[in-house]
């Protein structure tokens, strides 16, 4: 039995972008920055590492993501990993992986960020 399930908590690296698929479906895309710290076993120094994970959101969840999320927003994402393939402009086959989100919980959003910026 295979399991393809992703659960992550992180901050948006940039604002949400929305586009339309060739079949007319709206898709929200954003990248989540995941921070990890560990001690290097050789140097015993603390190492900080950031992983950048692309996320795609479909259907009725697109508009709320676009309205409430922005760069720096804290999000909890559940979903599964998908692979996309395409031919680039030079005719080479390309592949990428992303998380296809089934659930996105907004833990902070644009409004909260704007209020802090404006001193409210």
- CA 66, 70, 71, 72 torsion: positive or negative? negative
The per-residue pLDDT for 112 is 55
Q: Domain total for the chain?
A: 1
Q: What is the pLDDT of residue 22?
A: 82
Neighbouring CB atoms inside 10 A of 7's CB total 10
Asked whether residue 1 is domain-assigned, the answer is no
Quick one: pLDDT at residue 83?
A: 94
Does residue 71 lie within any of the structural domains?
A: yes
Q: What is the CATH number of the domain that holds 75?
A: 2.40.50.140
57 pLDDT more than 70: yes
Q: Which domain holds residue 107?
A: 6-118
Taking the C-alpha atoms of residue 16 and residue 34, their distance in angstroms, rounded to an integer, is 17
Give pLDDT, residue 115. 56
Q: Are strands 93-106 and 46-58 parallel, antiparallel or unpaired?
A: parallel
Cα(57)–Cα(44) distance, integer angstroms: 40
The pLDDT value recorded for residue 21 is 84
Q: Is residue 104 part of a domain?
A: yes
């Amino acid at each position: 039995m295979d399991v393809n399930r992703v659960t992550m908590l992180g901050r948006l690296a940039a604002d949400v972008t929305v586009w339309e698929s060739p079949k007319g479906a709206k898709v929200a895309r954003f990248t989540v920055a995941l921070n990890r710290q560990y001690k290097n076993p050789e140097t015993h120094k603390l190492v900080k590492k950031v992983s950048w994970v692309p996320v795609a959101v479909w259907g009725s969840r697109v508009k709320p993501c676009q309205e409430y999320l922005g760069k720096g927003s804290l999000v909890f994402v559940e979903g599964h990993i998908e692979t996309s393939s395409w031919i680039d402009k030079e005719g080479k086959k390309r592949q990428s992986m992303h998380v296809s989100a089934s659930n996105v919980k907004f833990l902070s959003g644009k409004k909260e960020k704007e209020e802090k910026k404006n001193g409210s």
